[in-house]
Amino acid sequence: MIAVTAADLGIDINEPGGNGLFKWLLASFLIGKRIRTSVAVKAFHRLVDQEEVGTPEQLARCSHAQVVRWLGEAGYARYDESTARRLRVLGKRVSEELQPQLRALCTGVHRVADFERWLLSFEGVGPKTVEIFMREAAGTLNDASADLLMRS
């Protein structure tokens, strides 16, 4: 199986404000589940491209029923209820905590390993999701230019 990249999904991880990182986290969350990659990619495009849920705040504002419907229509039906709940919590927490996490990285208060532990604190985010996410995000998070991510 060929690994899906952020570029394959049209994501610029270095997008100012951290929204590129969020989109890649969202994609990694979906791809990291026990579901066909094609279904996860379709669900990602449904959420981000069709429903314009490209920021954590937008995801957090969606109703549970909306997210369940969008996931189901993308073929994510087996896990739609639990995934919808977890995604909405992910959106809420990322909207509140991503900028402080990035700031801690930029100032040297945290290391990338601390960021990974933060990711693992989300329900539904396991080692596979973190592995997928970090495959592309690690360079950005290690780079001194990570402070650019915080700028809107």
Residue ranges in the chain modelled with pLDDT below 50: 144-145, 148, 151-152
What pLDDT score does 5 carry? Answer: 95
Answer whether 0.85 is exceeded by the pTM: yes
What pLDDT score does 144 carry? Answer: 45
> Quick one: DSSP state of residue 53?
-
Question: What is the separation of C-alpha 7 from the centre of its chain, rounded to a whole number of angstroms?
Answer: 14
What pLDDT score does 25 carry? Answer: 97
70 touches 46 (CB < 8 A)? yes
What pLDDT score does 143 carry? Answer: 65
- Topology given in CATH for the domain delimited by 15-139: Endonuclease III; domain 1 (1.10.340)
Amino acid code (one letter) for 129: T
Please give the Cα distance from 98 to 106 (Å, whole number). Answer: 12
Domain ranges of the chain: 15-139
What pLDDT score does 133 carry? Answer: 96
